[in-house]
């Protein structure tokens, strides 16, 4: 199951398991690495409104931003570690996507 399908399930109220959340975390890391070298990633497209709402992200947010937000809810960062949302935002700025 890909990350978009898992986020669709999350938006419909389906609980994401710990294993699925860990896979999503790996996917986020992979996407962050990929956008450093390619501007054609699907994660850089705008997510549908219902996904943004379920992720508690602004309407018109990118898929990668919604993914980070959901992960921050499912697996909160440990004390002293930066949340995934700000990390994604900083990466998008650094590589001039925003």
* Helix %, strand %, coil % of the chain (to 5): 60, 0, 40
Average pLDDT estimate for 11-29:
94
Q: What are 21-39's pLDDT values in tens digits?
A: 999 999 999 999 998 888 7
Q: CA-to-CA distance for 86 and 51, rounded, in angstroms?
A: 19
**pLDDT at position 74, please?**
94
Q: Over the stretch 40-87, which tens digit does the pLDDT of each residue have?
A: 777 889 999 999 999 999 999 999 999 999 999 999 988 888 999 999
Query: Strand, helix or coil at 45?
Result: coil
Tokens of 1: 């199951």
Domain containing 37 equals: 3-94
- The answer to pTM > 0.85 is yes
**CB environment 51-85: b (16+ within 10 A), e (fewer):** bbebbebeeebbbbbbbbbbbbbbeeeeeeeeebb
What pLDDT score does 1 carry? 57
CB proximity list for 98: less than 8 A, separation 6 or greater: 89, 92
Token pair listed for 76: 């909160």
Number of domains, the chain:
1
């Amino acid at each position: 199951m890909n990350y978009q399908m898992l986020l669709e399930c999350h938006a419909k109220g389906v609980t994401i398991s710990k294993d699925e959340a860990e896979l999503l975390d790996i996917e986020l890391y992979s996407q962050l690495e990929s956008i450093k070298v390619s501007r054609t990633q699907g994660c850089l497209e705008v997510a549908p409104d219902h996904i943004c709402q379920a992720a508690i992200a602004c309407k018109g947010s990118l898929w990668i931003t919604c993914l980070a937000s959901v992960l921050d809810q499912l697996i909160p960062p440990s004390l002293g570690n930066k949340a995934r949302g700000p990390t994604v935002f900083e990466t998008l700025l650094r590589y001039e996507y925003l």
